[in-house]
Amino acid sequence: MTALLGIDYGGTHTKLLLAGADGDPAATRRRTVPSASAAGLDGLAREVEAFLGGSSVAAFGVTVPGTLDVESGVVGHSANLPWLDGLAPATLLGERIGAPGVAVQDGVAAAIAEARSGAGRGHDDIFVVALGTGIAGAHVVRGEVRRGAHGGAGEVGHTDVGGDLPCSCGQRGCLETLIGGAQLGRRWRERLGSEGGDAASAVDVVRAARGGDAAAIAVLDDATSALARALLTISALIDPALFVIGGGLARSPEWTVDPAVAKARSGATFHRLPDVVPAGLGVWAGAQGAALSAADLVLTG
Amino acid sequence: MTALLGIDYGGTHTKLLLAGADGDPAATRRRTVPSASAAGLDGLAREVEAFLGGSSVAAFGVTVPGTLDVESGVVGHSANLPWLDGLAPATLLGERIGAPGVAVQDGVAAAIAEARSGAGRGHDDIFVVALGTGIAGAHVVRGEVRRGAHGGAGEVGHTDVGGDLPCSCGQRGCLETLIGGAQLGRRWRERLGSEGGDAASAVDVVRAARGGDAAAIAVLDDATSALARALLTISALIDPALFVIGGGLARSPEWTVDPAVAKARSGATFHRLPDVVPAGLGVWAGAQGAALSAADLVLTG
């Protein structure tokens, strides 16, 4: 029995994926459950047991939406699944599943999957950017994420792009203050002069821009200029061979990724700005990356 | 005969160094010659032959102050030694010296030496910053420089630090516009309102700051704030285990490196800002790195 289990443990939905020994996404079985029914590791274990229906797996990977100590597998802080704080989910789940497991940060898992099975397939040196509520990144070389000396590398959302807006991380001027989904809606409402009232989402901003709303267009223009500066900084410091850009905002590329790439190309001087391609795996990237991490666990013992 | 030759081919002086088989700087023989007498590769070859005095070497490394195609060893552009443009100096010198050779960018050579034999010795994951006329950088992992997909990585001088000043590279807001030695003097004179007249050097600015000159102190304050932002961006994207900072400006650390590091520490939020140590090898780092690159050439065939 060499099946591998990938668990993408998210804030609203949890995705379960059963794959072949090499983590190949073809011929996999998949299930999405509301995270409410997988609340707490006990709830998650019950959902996994129901999904597996008594069959065994060689190993599993589980994503964590938060900070993680890579050596110990202990979660530092998860804003969306706060009951994980201080726990080692792979160890605890492993006792229930009866197989070895590994915990992986959600962005890292998605980047591994995009690099090995998605848009980066066939390329050795890829920088993956996920434009979501926050902005995540990962440099993947020959299928392995470069995590840095303390597991903190790839935080493209907190590179300096020259603004003065306060970021949730405590700094000012981070990329995330201008293009993070959480901030786009806020910037738009501020421009409209309506600071109170309902929060606007990034989807609302893009829809308004499509309708010709000048404030939305201006906010997105600032956002894509900031992303362009971040892509140039990554090229200058890391010089990857390919950018893969995904996440919710990348689904409207004509308002987000395309203008950012055009601005980066026109702003490049000495840089070797590489090709930029859209992510290919969509919402299952995290679960596939978890299954691929399980495959690594089996291979490395 | 296993001696290794390191040649640091600079704009004003050229340094020659003969080292043992492992590139160990101990028990080496050294000579500095004015680059005027080593002008052209023929002039350099004559100086090398005089230095060697008939003894042979197993291999040599030669630094290039400019851009270099790593695969072919051909110089793209060298502002300081323009006769190198389009030539492969290691190939041409090798015919005269009678040994295999390798060309290395000067900043890369110095970083290799600092990482393996200098301040980074004993550390696996180091980011080296050289604060000179320009600002160079290199990420060195287990003694190897991460050059990036197109040999362009490590260009910390051209990361965005949020200003709007024009950089020699064509961008605006690069780190080099605020702390590069060439720019510091210009910024100081602009603040003093004397845009014409003699150019001021970084040394002049530091001397004036020591004497209490408010304009010089303000220019250096901007410079160290910019360096702090760049150190935080490197930590966010690459997360090295150690920073090694050298170059001419680092020789007055109380006005340059020390305040920058203090600002970076107080500005750090999620970052794991590592220790910062001064470079240890001084002006011979480039020649030592060239000799170490020659050792690599022998080892890898």
CATH number for the domain harbouring residue B257 = 3.30.420.40
Residues A242 and A136 grouped into a single domain: yes
Q: Is the pLDDT of residue B300 over 90?
A: no
What gap in Å lies between CA B286 and CA B7, rounded to an integer? 8
Query: Which residues of chain A have a CB within 8 Å of the CB of B147?
Result: 239
Residues A137 and A272 grouped into a single domain: yes
Per the model's pLDDT, the better-predicted residue between B225 and A38 turns out to be: B225
Query: Which residues of chain A have a CB within 8 Å of the CB of B156?
Result: 236-237
What gap in Å lies between CA B165 and CA B119, rounded to an integer? 33
What gap in Å lies between CA A132 and CA A111, rounded to an integer? 14
pLDDT of residue B60: 97
- Tens of pLDDT, residue by residue over B108-164, are 999 999 999 999 999 999 999 999 888 889 999 999 999 999 888 999 999 988 778
- Could you tell me how many CB contacts below 8 A there are between chain A and chain B? 132
Distances in Å between the alpha carbon of B254 and those of B204, B217, B227, B259? 15, 12, 14, 7
Q: Which residue of B has its CA nearest to A265?
A: B171
pLDDT of residue B82: 86
B interface with A, Cβ–Cβ below 8 Å:
124-125, 137, 139, 146-156, 158-163, 169-171, 173, 229-230, 232-241, 267, 269-272, 274
Residues A167 and A37 grouped into a single domain: no
pLDDT of residue A301: 66
How many domains does chain A divide into? 2
Please answer whether residues B248 and B282 qualify as being in contact, where contact means their C-beta atoms are separated by less than 8 angstroms.
no
What kind and span of H or E run contains B97? helix B89-97
Query: Which residues of chain B have a CB within 8 Å of the CB of A170?
Result: 269-270
| B116 belongs to a structural domain | no
Q: Which residue of B has its CA nearest to A125?
A: B149
Say yes or no for a CB contact (<8 Å) between B272 and A152: yes
Say yes or no for a CB contact (<8 Å) between B229 and A170: no
| A250 belongs to a structural domain | yes
Say yes or no for a CB contact (<8 Å) between A125 and B161: no
Q: Is the pLDDT of residue B301 over 70?
A: no
Residues B287 and B273 grouped into a single domain: no
Residues A23 and A100 grouped into a single domain: yes
Query: Which residues of chain A have a CB within 8 Å of the CB of B125?
Result: 148-149
Query: Which residues of chain A have a CB within 8 Å of the CB of B269?
Result: 158, 169-171
Q: Is the pLDDT of residue B256 over 90?
A: yes
| A248 belongs to a structural domain | yes
State the pLDDT confidence band at B36, using cuts at 50, 70 and 90: confident
| A115 belongs to a structural domain | no
Q: What's the average model confidence in pLDDT over B274-289?
A: 93
Q: What's the average model confidence in pLDDT over A60-84?
A: 89
Decide the pairing of beta strands B29-34 and B13-19. Answer: antiparallel
CA A155 to chain B, closest CA, distance in angstroms equals 5
| B154 belongs to a structural domain | yes
- Listed residue (A73, A82, A273, A234) closest to A153, CA to CA: A234
Say yes or no for a CB contact (<8 Å) between A160 and B232: yes
Contacts of B10 (CB under 8 A, 6+ apart): B35, B63, B65, B80, B106, B286
pLDDT of residue A94: 96
Range of the domain at A81: 4-110+283-299
Say yes or no for a CB contact (<8 Å) between B236 and A156: yes
What gap in Å lies between CA A19 and CA A127, rounded to an integer? 25
CA A283 to chain B, closest CA, distance in angstroms equals 24
Burial of A267 (0-12, 13-18, 19+ CB in 10 A): middle
Residues A99 and A216 grouped into a single domain: no
What gap in Å lies between CA A260 and CA A161, rounded to an integer? 13
- Tens of pLDDT, residue by residue over B47-97, are 999 999 988 999 999 999 888 888 899 998 887 888 899 999 999 999 999
Burial of A26 (0-12, 13-18, 19+ CB in 10 A): exposed
pLDDT of residue B197: 59
Beta bridge partners of residue B34, listed in sequence order: B13
| B115 belongs to a structural domain | no
Nearest to B160 among A148, A153, A162 (CB): A162
Contacts of B204 (CB under 8 A, 6+ apart): B185, B188
- Tens of pLDDT, residue by residue over A223-280, are 999 999 999 999 999 999 999 999 889 999 999 999 999 999 999 988 989 999 999 9
| A37 belongs to a structural domain | yes
Residue labelled with tokens 């200098």: B118
A interface with B, Cβ–Cβ below 8 Å:
124-125, 137, 139, 146-156, 158-163, 169-171, 173, 229-230, 232-241, 267, 269-272, 274
Residues B85 and B22 grouped into a single domain: yes
Query: Which residues of chain A have a CB within 8 Å of the CB of B240?
Result: 148-149
Q: Is the pLDDT of residue A99 over 70?
A: yes
Q: Looking at this predicted complex, what is its ipTM?
A: 0.88
pLDDT of residue B23: 52
| A19 belongs to a structural domain | yes
Nearest to A169 among B151, B229, B270 (CB): B270
Query: Which residues of chain A have a CB within 8 Å of the CB of B230?
Result: 160
Structure tokens at A176: 């995330």
Residues A151 and A230 grouped into a single domain: yes
Query: Which residues of chain A have a CB within 8 Å of the CB of B243?
Result: none
pLDDT of residue A27: 58
Residues A16 and A90 grouped into a single domain: yes
pLDDT of residue A161: 86
Residues A272 and A131 grouped into a single domain: yes
State the pLDDT confidence band at A162, using cuts at 50, 70 and 90: confident
Nearest to B237 among A124, A156, A171 (CB): A156
Residues B86 and B166 grouped into a single domain: no
Residues B156 and B175 grouped into a single domain: yes
Beta bridge partners of residue A138, listed in sequence order: A128
Please answer whether residues B207 and B219 qualify as being in contact, where contact means their C-beta atoms are separated by less than 8 angstroms.
no
